[in-house]
Amino acid sequence: MQTATPARRKATRPRADALRNRERIVTAAREMFVEFGPDVPLDEIARRAGVGNATVYRNFPDRDALVREVVCAVIDRTVQAAERALAETGDAFTALERIAHAAADERISALCPMVSSTFDRHHPDLEAARLRFERLVGEVMDRAKAAGQVRPDVGVGDLMLGVAQLSRPPAGTACMSADRFVHRHLQLYLDGLRAPAPSTLPGTAVTLEDLRRP
């Protein structure tokens, strides 16, 4: 008598509505973290996302998981914007501009500081997103310098520090009122990175290691 072989179960994929709910939660969380900081009640995030509290906790068991997902998502979208620019134009400086403006749209400079204040910044997901971002920015900066598009006395740290300072909104709901100035001032800053340089900068080119050094 032969024993029936148990049928192999197929791995279930998340339903489309479940994926949409997760995206709505992440979008709402990003908006509210920018407006109110990382301590905004999760119930309020659920309300803005248009889902129930249970849906939030089913997707994100704690606040750390949600903040981490938000930060990884905005880093990934910024990377994708630069990759599209390179694919479409092949121009390194255009890709640098796309990185800066995409980072401002994502409010990455307001979100990333939350990492160190809420949980372990060395979580594997965050490390992978950060390394992917830094590797791409470094490669694009090197290509722009090799093409004579970027002045030689600046580094990746200069770019990232300038983007952070110009695009970080003040805390509170009024932060959105500054949006109409951000891209204008970012472009002024980016134009200052172009070669040939009209002046000599004090100090030395800033690296990412310089930014991490206390």
- Give tens-digit pLDDT for 81-122: 888 888 888 899 999 999 999 888 888 777 766 665 556 677
Confidence class of residue 214 from pLDDT cuts 50, 70 and 90? confident
Confidence class of residue 193 from pLDDT cuts 50, 70 and 90? very high
Judge contact between 103 and 71, C-beta under 8 A.
no
Instruction: Tell whether the model's pLDDT for residue 23 goes beyond 70.
Output: yes
Instruction: Tell whether the model's pLDDT for residue 74 goes beyond 80.
Output: yes
Judge contact between 139 and 161, C-beta under 8 A.
no
Judge contact between 54 and 95, C-beta under 8 A.
no
Query: Residues 10-39: what's their mean pLDDT?
Result: 82
Confidence class of residue 190 from pLDDT cuts 50, 70 and 90? very high
Higher pLDDT, 111 or 65: 65
Judge contact between 182 and 166, C-beta under 8 A.
yes
Judge contact between 189 and 101, C-beta under 8 A.
no
Which amino acid is present at 58?
R
Each residue of 43-53: pLDDT tens digit?
999 999 999 99
Higher pLDDT, 158 or 1: 158
Each residue of 194-210: pLDDT tens digit?
999 989 999 999 998 88
Task: Check residue 13 and give its pLDDT.
Answer: 53
51 CB neighbour count, 10 Å cutoff: 19
Task: Check residue 115 and give its pLDDT.
Answer: 60
Task: Check residue 169 and give its pLDDT.
Answer: 58
Confidence class of residue 127 from pLDDT cuts 50, 70 and 90? confident
Query: Residues 13-38: what's their mean pLDDT?
Result: 86
Instruction: Tell whether the model's pLDDT for residue 167 goes beyond 90.
Output: no
d(CA 117, CA 150): 34
Instruction: Please give the distance of CA 104 from its chain centroid, rounded to a whole number.
Output: 9
For the chain, give the mean pLDDT: 84
d(CA 93, CA 141): 8
Task: Check residue 178 and give its pLDDT.
Answer: 60
